[in-house]
Amino acid sequence: MHWAWAALFGGAALLYAYFYYLKPFLSRRPGRNDSRRREEMSSSYQARPTPQAPPREEKVALKASCTVPFVDKDPELTRRLEAMHARVQRVADERYARESANLERLGLSRTIKTRSPPPVPAATPAPEATATPTPSSSPNDDAEREARRKAHLEACRQRDLPGLVWEGPVQEEVGTSSAPDPAVVATTVPLASAPPQERARRQVRWMQRVNGTVDLTQAYEDPTLQAQARQCIPVALLMQRARASLQADGKPLAPEATPDADALALELVRWFKNDFFTFVPTKGFPCSCGAPCVSRGMAEPWPEEAAYRCQVVEAWECPCCRTLNRFPRYNDCRKLLATRRGRCGEFANCFALCARSLGYDVRLCTEWSDHIWVELYSRPRGRWVHYDPCEGCSDTPLMYECGWGKQISYVIACSFEGICDVTWRYTKDPAAVLERRQEVTEEYVTRAVSTHNMKILRYVAPTRREVLLARWAAEQQELEARRQATPENLSGPAAGTAEVQPRLNLGRQ
């Protein structure tokens, strides 16, 4: 049996060797095929002639022909390009004139120069034409220019100019007397004279800022985060303090009765400011050695800091021990519950989580310049109530304008259930506020708020939807009444008293 398999495999091997090796070799005819292959190979390896370089005169002529503009060959194309250049130049001159007018309004006037293409030199210049030396600026002009520049920078830092589009802090170098960089210092462009492209960019920036605040409120609905916040709140102590506060006000409660939600919220904001959170001063950051630090600008967040939604890190250097301290501005409530320090942004963010963990309806109110606080919905009062955890006060909406002297422009309240323009609740002069609202139009604000809320209502239960619609209708009536009222007819807490006017240095972001 084995010899049969061996014979079979041997025959197969012989057939394979015959057809693939032996048969092509036997069918080869060397007389004709080899001679033709040798001729082809010899012809392919023959030396080819080297191309001769053109003479120098031909190179010069070729280069000159390439430098001639092609528009000379097409008069129609030349006319179109000249017209396009004229339009671009006209738009640039108008923008330059507008910027010069804005700088002159701010105290930095400059001569408006019409930018035109360089003149074509004459073929034979006149012999008597001589170059006139340019007069140099005197020291008095330089001092005046430097004084106006510093005044302009200080005005931009204070942000008291209507319609000012602020792009960031201006870094002033010591010992320089050059004019401010127009790319850094934003110009004042009123909304009425802004081009359509600038209006569209302002609308995008306005809505991006609102959406950023709404994203912060989404974290308040996390059950795990709410449980972590409730572990930090001494609810029994707050109940006891609320009971004592009501009794001091002449509203004693029965032993088995519990204080209402408003009394508990007031004790919550007082405990949060005095016992739980620590304010970080904007000047003189405290070092571990006890000495105040000096600001060294901003630093990049580390990966472990960026994991907690940190985008800005302040760098502080101690002049005594030379220690570089970092103050990361966290936006994650998990980290804020551990660090328990910050400014008005961290105060409002963490307090909103604590209030939401106790069952309150919470909104973050962002004032467009530099402050943020919280609003809680009061069921006994049937309205939204102002709470500022950075100041430890409640229901004093006019303290910012009347007590601090703040020029309010936009105050937007944001939550995961909708947004609302509540500016008119925090001002006694609606007409002045309307003049300062130069970023977007009032029609856009109304349309953006309504569109956002309608999108949210699609995913809300029908019973909750009816509650929200009733709240929004009542709030719109209240805000519209305050918007149409005069300063004499407006009522509210007296914001100039000592009880309502807290420390002016705190609460600034």
In one letter, which amino acid is 149?
R
Taking the C-alpha atoms of residue 317 and residue 285, their distance in angstroms, rounded to an integer, is: 9
Residues 6+ away with beta carbon under 8 Å from 346: 277, 329, 330, 336
Residues 97/90, Cβ–Cβ less than 8 Å: no
Catalytic residue among 318, 388, 395, 452: 388
Residues 6+ away with beta carbon under 8 Å from 19: none
Catalytic annotation present for 388: yes
Which residue, among 329, 343, 373, 426, has the nearest Cα to 213 in the 3D structure?
373
In one letter, which amino acid is 36?
R
Catalytic residue among 156, 287, 318, 344: 344
b/e 75-93 (16+ beta carbons within 10 angstroms → b): eeeeeeeeeeeeeeeeeee
Pinpoint the alpha helices (H) of 18-71. 23-26, 30-44, 56-67
Tokens of 388: 């500022």
Tokens of 239: 């109940």
Catalytic annotation present for 289: no
Taking the C-alpha atoms of residue 96 and residue 187, their distance in angstroms, rounded to an integer, is: 12
Tokens of 163: 């319609």
How many residues appear in the chain?
509
Which residue, among 290, 475, 499, 258, has the nearest Cα to 395 in the 3D structure?
499
Catalytic annotation present for 318: no
Tokens of 297: 């600008």
Task: Identify the sign of the CA torsion 95, 98, 104, 107.
Answer: negative
Q: How far is CA 409 from CA 39, 440, 458, in A?
A: 92, 11, 31
Catalytic residue among 156, 318, 350, 371: 371
Q: How many CB atoms within 10 Å of residue 285?
A: 20
Tokens of 461: 């239960």
Taking the C-alpha atoms of residue 276 and residue 503, their distance in angstroms, rounded to an integer, is: 19
> What are the residue numbers of the active site?
344, 371, 388
